[in-house]
Amino acid sequence: MKKILKFFNFKEKIRKKKQIKLNYSKEHLKFLKKNKTNKLITHSIRILILVAIFGFWELFTRVGILDPFFVSSPSRMIETIKSLNSTGELFTHISITLYETVIGFVLATGIGYLFAVLLWWSEKLRNVLDPYIVVLNSLPKIALGPIIIIWVGAGTKAIIVMCILICVIITTLSILGSFLSCDKDKILLMKSMNARKHQIFFKLIIPNSMPDFISVLKINVGMSWVGTIMGEYLVSKAGLGYLIVYGGTVFKLDLVMTSTVILCFLAGLMYFIVSRIEAHFKK
């Protein structure tokens, strides 16, 4: 826990801010204050929108403008969460989906990255494999569902594989693109200083591609959720995707809505973590 706090660097930041403030002119302090107010307003409006959506949702279902059977309602969702929680199901479903997504995300990013490194290293390999990658990239991965199930079984493994398939090619393509877009003169500069290929790679290509890597991470957060939920639609007996499918087939819209909202929350959280990592690197 301490480590996490340290990572987010809250204390340090506040201390620094205070220190810096002392040196600012009056005008600049005014400007900062205005900036802060603007930020506050933006944040408040954001929260207001959220409250409004849920508030009207609740209101409209109560007065009968909307039928809660079709759209559910916030209070019903809270009930659903409570009942799921009392049996411990809620935690199980969330943790299963989260587990699949995180594993899928990490493996897909890792494998995709390694593959990009290989392709950067060998131009020949790159040229040979080019058409295959293009075809794989445009193939709708969901079509591979039955094959995956037969090969690895209709369980968690299949879901993770689906998640990996969805993220991995685009990861490879983006990272490789970033590797290859490195300024030719910069490479020449390294060569003129006698750099070996691995030195060029580790001291130039990789740090140079860092910003693109972060955006790939951000994209993969979204994609890995798509992969996992799609996988769960196909095979699962547990998880948020399963809850949604199950809720849909038995017409329990409360369950569907609740799971969807939880999904939104989790995806947002994961995105937040990645953007913290980004901020950490940008310093």
Partner 1 sequence: MKKEILKFENINLIYHTNQGETLALKDVNFSVYDGEFIAIVGPSGCGKTTILSLISGILTPTSGKIYIDGEETRKAQKKNLNSNIGYMFQKDHLFEWRNIWKNVTLGIELQKKKKDENLLKTADNLLNKYGLSQFKNSKPSELSGGMRQRAALIRTLALNPKLLLLDEPFSALDFQTRLNVCDNVYEIIKNEKKTAILVTHDISEAVSLADRVIILSTRPGTVKKEVEIHLEKYKTPLKKRESKESHDYFDEIWKELVIYDKKE
146, 153, 177, 207: which one contacts partner 1 (CB under 8 A)?
A: 207
List 199, 238, 266, 278, residue binding partner 1 (CB under 8 A): 199
The nearer residue to partner 1, 199 or 275, going by C-beta atoms, is 199
Q: Tell me how many residues contact partner 1 (CB under 8 A).
A: 17
Picking from 201, 220, 203, 200, the residue whose alpha carbon sits closest to that of residue 277 is 220
Compare residues 207 and 248 and give the one whose CB is closer to partner 1: 207
- Residue whose pair of structure tokens reads 């490879």 in the numeric block: 172
Among 163, 165, 190, 230, binds partner 1 (CB under 8 A): 190
Query: Token pair for residue 77?
Result: 């969702």
Binding string, residues 158-187; x marks residues near partner 1 by CB under 8 A: -------------------------x-xx-
- The type of residue at 268 is G
The interface region with partner 1, picked from 22-30, 112-120, 146-154, 204-212 by CB under 8 A, is: 204-212
Contact residue for partner 1 among 15, 17, 21, 203 (CB under 8 A)? 203
Q: Which is nearer to partner 1, 7 or 202 (CB)?
A: 202
Q: How many CB atoms lie within 10 A of CB 101?
A: 28
Q: How many alpha carbons fall within 13 Å on the CB side of residue 243?
A: 25
Q: Residue 16, interface with partner 1 (CB under 8 A)?
A: no
Q: CA–CA distance from 202 to each of 4, 190, 196, 239, 261 (Å)?
A: 28, 12, 10, 40, 42
List Cβ neighbours of 222 (8 Å cut-off, separation of 6 or more): 267, 271
Verify binding: residue 194, partner 1, rule CB under 8 A: yes
Do the beta carbons of residue 266 and residue 278 sit within 8 Å? no
Query: In a 3-state reduction of DSSP, which class is residue 155?
Result: coil
Using the rule CB under 8 A, give the single segment among 128-136, 143-151, 191-199, 262-270 that binds partner 1.
Answer: 191-199
3-state secondary structure of 252: coil
Nearer to partner 1, 3 or 282 (CB): 282
The residues binding partner 1 (CB under 8 A) are: 183, 185-186, 188-195, 199, 203-204, 207-208, 210
